[in-house]
Homo-oligomer: A and B are copies of this chain.
Amino acid sequence: MRAAFPTAVTVEIAASDRKPAVTKSAARKTTLATVDLPLLFIEIHDSEIPWLKIFVRRSVREFSECTAVEKTAIWDALDVIEREMLDYYRPEKINIASFGNMLPQVHWHIMARFKEDSYFPEPMWGPRQREGVLALPPMEPFLENLRRKLLPES
């Protein structure tokens, strides 16, 4: 259901008047910014599955080099995103990862996985298992819920 993950349309749901860091990079497969937080920004990873990436704004290589406040912000974001993914998409499992071998800037992947996706039960970086066939609901209501949870002041 690639239609659920538009590759050329900016979904602007940041509540603040700061501009989110929109980075369209083929190498990073990142198409648009989704949620703009004080210490973090969250982007959609272009994929057949619901897949978000949480970036720390400050230049920092390893997770343990983050400040306590940054760490808490990351865990809170992962927790909220996971709950919203489980509630909205009803996936088989949530996957979380932070590598940064190619891009040594702290960022976390969070993915909703389905038995019918192209890689399950392998990680999304593993060997392809099949031609994934997913019928997912549109992403916009999920993103709206996410914004409400992550930006409670809005």
How many copies of this chain sit in the oligomeric assembly? Answer: 2
Within 8 A of B (CB), among A13-66: 61-64
CB < 8 Å: which of B61, B94, B120 contacts A63?
B94
Q: How far is the CA of A100 from the CA of B100 in the complex (A)?
A: 21
B82 touches A93 (CB 8 A): no
Asked if B93 and A64 make an inter-chain contact with CB atoms under 8 angstroms apart, the answer reads no
Whether A71 pairs with B64 at a CB distance below 8 angstroms is: no
Chain A, 92-107, contact with B by CB distance < 8 Å: what is the 0/1 string? 1111111111101000
B93 A121 Cβ-Cβ under 8 A: no
Q: A71-B79, A79-B71 are in contact. Are A86 and B64 (CB under 8 A)?
A: yes
Q: Give CA–CA (A93, B106) in the complex, Å.
A: 11
Q: Are B92 and A64 in contact (CB under 8 A)?
A: no
Closest 4 CB pairs between A and B?
A: A101-B121, A97-B97, A123-B125, A64-B82
Determine whether the beta carbon of A92 is less than 8 Å from that of B98.
Answer: no
B102 touches A121 (CB 8 A): yes
Closest to A95 in B: B99
Query: Inside 8 A of A64's CB, which chain B residues have their CB?
Result: 79, 82-83, 86, 94
**Minimum CB–CB distance for A110 against chain B, Å:** 10
